[in-house]
Structure 1
Amino acid sequence: MTGMASPEKASSSKKKGERKCATKEEYRQLSSIMGVMNNLRKQGTLCDVTLVVQGKHFPAHRVVLAAASHFFSLMFTTRMMESMSHEVELRSAEPEIIELLIEFIYTARISVNSSNVQSLLDAANQYQIEPVKRMCVEFLKGQIDATNCLGISALADCMDCPELKVAADDFFQIHFTEVYKLDEFLQLDVAQLTHLLHQDKLTVRAEAQIYDAAVRWLKYDVCNRKQYMVEVLGCVRFPLVSKTFLSKTVQAEPLIQDNPQCLKMVIGGMRYHLLSLEDREDLGESSRPRRKKHDYRIALFGGSQPQSCRYFNPKDSSWTDIRCPFEKRRDATAIFWDNVVYILGGSQLFPIKRMDCYNVLKDSWYSKLGPPTPRDSLAACAAQGKIYTSGGSEVGSSALDLFECYDTRTESWQIKTSMLMARCSHGSVEANGLIYVCGGTVGNNVSGRVLNNCEVYDPNTQQWRELCGMREARKNHGLVVVNNRIYAVGGQGAIGGLDSVEYYDIATNEWRGASPMPWRGVTVKCAAVGDIIYVLAGFQGVGRLGHTLEYHTDTDRLGY
């Protein structure tokens, strides 16, 4: 079916087209004029002022500078001394940055990157060049992560960038449990620290994490910070700390045992649990809850089941299928960082070279470049925006000592210092900024020797160090971190499946036994939520795990 447009609609469309053409023509005309003026500037023609920065001279036109900057407008249109000077010295400025700003004023083009953004923001703020300031703010908003959010917040304060400050503070509050373990947090002064720890919006699973942050800060420089103990621990809402944690962990802390005022706080927290609900409401701020971390869900990816991607919700023990557009992988590994799941390695007839990514918030899938060496049975963990992959084996080959790093911000891979021992089917976790690898097998994945060997990598020194070995050699085991302990769960030993559980005490470099599982697992997949380790998947050799197991680390009890 065809039709004719009305005269009114035709006239309206014509006017819109004319306006669009006029706008494009105006833009071309302005660009052409500014291009000519920029050429005149570079030739020194008709320039009536020279900006001097650390001895370097930049000829320019007053009218152009004044049009782009309120700072220069005031300087050149009032009775300031500079309004009559042929040369204007800009002190405390960097020549390279002023050159970039002048180029922007004449061309509307500038390159903002991580090496110049802070200096550009400082200069754009000082000389009131708002478009550049906005670009710097947008760039920094995209760079905020756990390692720099506090520094960016402080920078935003100095530069009068409220939008950037809100973004950095929001990130800190939401990712507090990651930030407080890093150097930027530990180097805060006491006033900054207490201001942050008092905030209701800190997102935590439990108040015990606020206590852990406070104690970590004190112990970072205990000799000089011991004097602030009462002030710092006063930020902890002890009534919200569980009775078990108060009695087993807090009371046993030497710093608290030696301080009567801190002991009084802890006793007050214990008394809270004896009060009636009505009496508890009268305690005000000390019992006001923080913002709760969202309910955790644990995702399983891959495997031989028909539906290979599923969520487990610890709150109600329910399972939910996840739509996955990609083929299944055998012997792959998955890592979670900043709301994205990264699935690496593995094979489906042939090694899979790409890395599949699942954005949890957007429920969307996409792919990125995988590890430089595609392989099976590798292990991975994440730390400070980087994913570290270790070991594994190429099809039909022996275990590798490979160690690689993927930067989630630059989306690039780097090969790092090789492990001390080649291994595959091992476990890897991050704790306190260090990368731990434990167990696995050396040689052939099927008939190779099963290892109890453990080693740790320091990203700062890029060096590996051997650790105390596990009590039992194991491969395809679960490996998780809970409260400064690394737990090894089940797996396969030299003569078959294991039901044993053991943990590595990071502080003492010792492995200790824990309650065994009611089930022997040749392969085990588990995850920790708070103090509980969930064993969600496993293969016994003759059958699969039919139930989810829960191991309560605080009571050393494991069951269905």
Structure 2
Amino acid sequence: GRYVCVEMASQVKSPVSTETGEVGDASLVVPKAYDAMRQKNLLCDVVLEVQGRLFPAHRLVLAAASHFFFLMFTTDMKESACATVELKQVEPEVVEQLIEYIYTKRISVNMSNVQSMLLAADMFLMDPVKVTCVAFLKGHLNASNCLGMSTLADLTHSSELATIAEKYVLRCFSQVIKSDEFLELDVTRLTSLLQKDKVVVSAEEEVYTAALAWLKHDLSNRQRFLADVLSCVRFPLMSRTFLSNTVHAEPLVQNDAECLRMVINGMRYHMLLRERCRDLAEMSRPRCVRRMPLIAMLKGSVPSLFHFFNPKNSTWTCSSSTFGTRLNAAVVYCDGLVYILGGSSFTSPMKSITCYSIQQDHQFSRSGLPTPCDSLAACVAQGNIYVSGGVTREDGRILDFLYCFNTKTNSWQTQPNMLKARCCHRSVEVDGLIYVCGGLTCNGRSRVVTNKCEVYDPSTQQWRVLCPMTHPRKDHGLVVVKDRIYAIGGEGQRGKKTCSGQQF
């Protein structure tokens, strides 16, 4: 097959000299007199025959430049005693250039000959030529030829080219699947690619669409591979809407019992708690998703209204998932999931945690808070969620706790209490440290809005006092931009709203 697209020709020299094309390998230095004698057919002791064309040469020179010829002429191979040696599986034009390179250390590589040149250089064990060909191919790698380059690298044992081509295929999967090379892959290479965790996609729907396109490209010969190919698609990672409206409606899927079972398992994953879908762990393992920059907004008292704002095109999107009503909850984003922690219903505080997958448009529950409360704060540090403070609804007690939630093990750990009990405060992470600012605290029997701040180091499990904010505030915004903490808006003393901001 054709592995490199023929698009243009350009003169390529050795990486050592971009002007002369000389390959910097001192072991291949051959006196110019040898080349002059070769061209006049003087003292030549072997003739290389390729598809009827004859190339006189010197055994000593060939053996010095190629380990292939060295073994041929110095062992008991029959060619060692032959005046004429026939070379097969190579093109005469390529052999002519390789002989020219052996004698002059110059070679011209272009898109028309680079594939044949690399194959021949691998066959004749001429590493400097392989290096030159690989350098040329690396400079011409794109979405339309990277799959072919990967195959060529395997055929020529070019590990560097293989690694670069594979990384390109995985990183640019969305463009690669639109190429003719993708549609012409054999089923073994296709399934190997679709199974990889490191495929970068915007969503799993992209993998399904690519698999279906490959099947339909030659359906009469490929339909027998339907179940094998679609088994590489991770249906649990798709949105419920896409599963029900697109995948389930596909005639190829409807008419295949095994494929229907895969789709049903994908839907089952959305309907049950993750803990009850352990048998789907393999097919729900996430890929390298290319995430869109989205901002999620939950309306304070009715978080069932869940909207996303895309700052790239200034558009709003409403989630199809519905959420139970809760007041004064904390919300964080961690590893592709939005966590809604604590808060209260209209009657009592809540322990529950609701998780929402933006990619799958799917929600599920996680292990609840150790203490039910609302008006708490939360932030993410090193893959864990740190929850602090809050207030209980039963007795109105303001809390000073700090809990750490391990998202991998779904478990809670108690951390040292804050220096000051507080609720309606905010927390952020900077350089592994957790900063807690403002909020509502107790002063004797009265409650006051505070400007006090403190910082926690998870590595030492120590709190220390931080300089206070200029103005007391609660229910404010607290964000980090370029290692600076900004406190914005909120409510000051005596319920006075503020639109001011300050930085730390």
Please, what TM-score do these two structures have when normalized by structure 2?
0.51
**By how many angstroms is 1:223 displaced?**
2.9
Structure 1 match to 2:116: 119
Question: Would you say 1:202 and 2:199 are equivalent positions?
Answer: yes
RMSD: 2.7
From the superposition, tell whether residues 92 and 190 of structure 1 become closer, same or farther in structure 2 (CA, over 3 Å): closer
Map 1:490-529 → 2, pairs under 5 A = none
- Is contact 2:30-2:104 (8 Å) kept? no
Q: Which ranges of structure 2 fall in alignment gaps of 5 or more residues?
A: 1-23, 295-308, 316-504
Q: How much does 1:124 deviate?
A: 0.8
Instruction: Quote how far apart the aligned CAs of 1:207 are.
Output: 0.6
Corresponding position of 1:156: 153
2:133 corresponds to: 136
Matches of 2:216 and 2:29 in 1, distance apart? 62
Indicate which of 241, 250, 253 corresponds to 1:253: 250
Q: 1:191 aligns with which of 180, 185, 188?
A: 188
Correspondence 1:59 to 2:56: yes
Q: C-alpha separation between the residues in 2 aligned to 1:100 and 1:217?
A: 39
1:140 partner letter: L
Which of 203, 209, 212 lines up with 1:212 in the alignment?
A: 209
Aligned equivalents of 1:296, 1:134: Cα separation in 2: 41
What do residues 229-264 of structure 1 show as CA deviations (whole Å, max 9, x unaligned)?
Answer: 222111111111011111221122222222232222
Distance 1:192 1:207 in 2: 19
2:269 paired residue among 272, 283, 290: 272
User: Which amino acid in the other structure matches residue 258 of structure 2?
Assistant: Q
CA contact 2:73–2:79 (8 Å) conserved in 1: yes
Contact 1:207 1:240 in 2 (8 A): yes
Give the residue type in structure 1 aligned to 2:221: N
Mapped partners of 2:230, 2:28: distance in 1: 60
Q: Which moved more, 1:162-171 or 1:271-280?
A: 271-280
- In structure 2, distance between residues paired with 1:30 and 1:274: 68
Aligned-residue offset at 1:38:
0.9
Deviations 1:291-322 (A, max 9, x none): 1225569xxxxxxxxxxxxxx9748979xxxx
225, 229, 253: which is aligned to 2:226?
229
Q: Partner residue of 1:81?
A: 78
1:141 to partner: Cα distance: 1.8
Distance change in 2, residues 1:91/1:225 (3 Å): closer
Counterpart position of 1:34: 31
Query: SS of the residue aligned with 1:273?
Result: helix
CA shift, 1:170, in A, is 1.2
**Superposition deviation, residue 286 in structure 1:** 0.6
> Whole-Å Cα distance in 1 between the matches of residues 310 and 82 of structure 2?
71
1:72 to 60, 64, 69: 69
Is structure 2 residue 175 aligned with structure 1 residue 178? yes
In the aligned structure 2, how far is the partner of 1:233 from the partner of 1:262? 7
Gaps in structure 1 of 5+ consecutive residues:
1-26, 298-311, 319-560
Question: Structure 1: how far apart are the matches of 2:27 and 2:154?
Answer: 36
Q: Aligned with 2:31: secondary structure?
A: helix
What is the aligned partner in structure 2 of residue 437 from structure 1? Answer: none
Counterpart for residue 238 of structure 1:
235
Larger Rg: 2
| 1:104 CA drift (Å) | 0.4
Length, aligned pairs only: 277
* Aligned-residue offset at 1:225: 2.4
Q: Distance in 2 between matches of 1:32 and 1:192?
A: 42
Structure 2 distance, partners of 1:151, 1:248, is 35
The residue identity in structure 1 corresponding to 2:252 is: L
Cα 1:92–1:187, aligned 2, differ >3 Å: closer, same or farther? closer
Q: Deviations over 1:265-313 (max 9, x none)?
A: 112111111222433555321100011225569xxxxxxxxxxxxxx97
| One-letter amino acid of the counterpart of residue 186, structure 1 | L
Q: Compared with structure 1, are the counterparts of its residues 225 and 32 closer, same or farther at alpha carbon in structure 2 (3 Å cutoff)?
A: closer
* Alpha-carbon distance in structure 2 between the residues aligned to 1:44 and 1:259: 69
Q: Is the 8 A contact 1:48 1:60 kept in 2?
A: yes
What residue identity is the alignment partner of 1:64? V
Q: Does 1:290 align with 2:287?
A: yes
Following TM superposition, by how much is the alpha carbon of 1:33 offset from its aligned partner in structure 2, in angstroms? 6.0
Which residue does 1:549 correspond to in 2?
Answer: none
Q: Pick one of 98, 102, 105 that aligns with 2:99.
A: 102
> What whole-Å deviation, never above 9, does each CA across 1:301-359 have from its counterpart, x for those lacking one?
xxxxxxxxxxx9748979xxxxxxxxxxxxxxxxxxxxxxxxxxxxxxxxxxxxxxxxx
- CA drift of 1:66 comes to 0.8
- SS of 1:105 mapped into structure 2: helix
Contact in 1 for aligned 2:28/2:102 (Cα 8 Å): no
Question: Structure 1, residues 47-101: CA drift from partner, whole Å, max 9, x if none?
Answer: 2222222222212121111111001111112222222222222223222111100
Judged with a 3 Å threshold, the aligned counterparts in structure 2 of structure 1 residues 169 and 115 are, in CA distance, closer, same or farther, namely same
**Structure 1 residues 49 and 267, CA, compared in 2 at 3 Å: closer, same or farther?**
same
The amino acid that maps onto 2:107 is I
- The residue identity in structure 1 corresponding to 2:203 is A
Contact 2:51 2:91 in 1 (8 A): yes
Shift of 1:132: 0.6
- Asked whether 1:168 is paired with 2:192, we answer no
The answer to whether the 8 A contact 1:204-1:293 is kept is yes
Cα deviation per residue 1:12-71 (whole Å; 9 max; x = unaligned)? xxxxxxxxxxxxxxx9x9999622221111112222222222222212121111111001
Distance 1:223 1:81 in 2: 49
User: CA 1:135–1:32 in structure 2 vs 1: closer, same or farther (change >3 Å)?
Assistant: closer
Q: Distance in 1 between matches of 2:147 and 2:49?
A: 35
> Would you say the 8 A contact 1:280–1:287 is kept in 2?
no
Q: C-alpha separation between the residues in 2 aligned to 1:181 and 1:110?
A: 34
Structure 1 residue 114: deviation in Å? 0.4
2:158 and 2:147 mapped to 1: Cα distance? 14
Distance 2:30 2:234 in 1: 64
Q: Deviations over 1:451-474 (max 9, x none)?
A: xxxxxxxxxxxxxxxxxxxxxxxx
Distance in 1 between residues matched to 2:276 and 2:38, nearest whole Å: 76
2:142 maps to a residue whose letter is: D
Aligned counterparts of 1:189 and 1:30: Cα–Cα separation in 2: 41
State the SS of the aligned residue for 2:56.
strand
**Partner of 2:259 in structure 1?**
262
Give the superposition deviation at 1:203. Answer: 0.7
Letter of the structure 1 residue corresponding to residue 102 of structure 2: I
What one-letter code is carried by the residue in structure 2 that aligns with 1:159?
T
Going from structure 1 to structure 2, the CA distance change for 1:286 and 1:100 (only over 3 Å counts) comes to: same
* Comparing 89-98 and 204-213, the one that deviates more: 89-98
